[in-house]
Amino acid sequence: MKRGSEGARNVGVGGGAAEVRNTVPEIRFRYSRSPSSEHMKQRTNMVRRFLAVGVAAAASVLFCSSPALAGQFAMAHTTDGTDWGGKAFFDPDGDAFKVCDLKSDGVKAEMSGDYPGGSVSLIASKKGKCTTQSINIRENATVKIKVCLLANDVDRRKCSGWSLGAA
């Protein structure tokens, strides 16, 4: 006859003496310094998942930048020392070309700009005056600008080198 869940047994016949034995379940503890192979598989899979997520995040940042971030500003100035007579700009926000005359010396500032499929030429004729023109240019297109001083409407001097930007 078994009693409860304690695991004690009453053994005997009739009303005789009973022998009671306690049976204790055997508990085995695993003391191991190295993790089991199953644990290592789980850990490896977790590391792979984290790496996959990290690589995907990095790729999305590198390859999915918005077109608004693709443009690059460009600036050029005439080569007449530190007191420049003219400056030119390309602003990718609005694809705007701009030239400014910085001196009241009777000489104009002329900007030349090149982009895929066209070119632009702007003149600013008085100190403090600027001339601006916006042109629709395809995204990521390379834009070149340079600025010269223009005397007598034909004599170009003190020209800058080409400055590169991107629409």
Q: Which residues partner with 150 through β-bridges?
A: 108, 156
Tell whether 74 is covered by a domain.
Answer: yes
When mean pLDDT is compared across 15-29, 93-107, 119-133, the lowest value belongs to 15-29
Residue 138 is given by DSSP the state -
Burial class (CB in 10 A: 0-12, 13-18, 19+), 159: middle
Alpha carbon distance 85, 32 (integer Å): 80
Task: Please report, for the domain that includes residue 106, its CATH number.
Answer: 2.60.40
Tell whether 38 is covered by a domain.
Answer: no
Alpha carbon distance 74, 87 (integer Å): 11
Tell whether 53 is covered by a domain.
Answer: no
Tell whether 40 is covered by a domain.
Answer: no
Domain region containing 92:
68-166
* N residues, the chain: 167
pTM, full prediction: 0.57
Tell whether 99 is covered by a domain.
Answer: yes
pLDDT tens across 80-115, in order? Answer: 877 788 999 999 999 999 999 998 888 999 999 999
Tell whether 128 is covered by a domain.
Answer: yes
Residue 67 is given by DSSP the state G
Instruction: Give the confidence band of 128 by pLDDT, cuts at 50, 70, 90.
Output: confident
Domains identified in the chain, total number: 1
Tell whether 104 is covered by a domain.
Answer: yes
Tell whether 11 is covered by a domain.
Answer: no
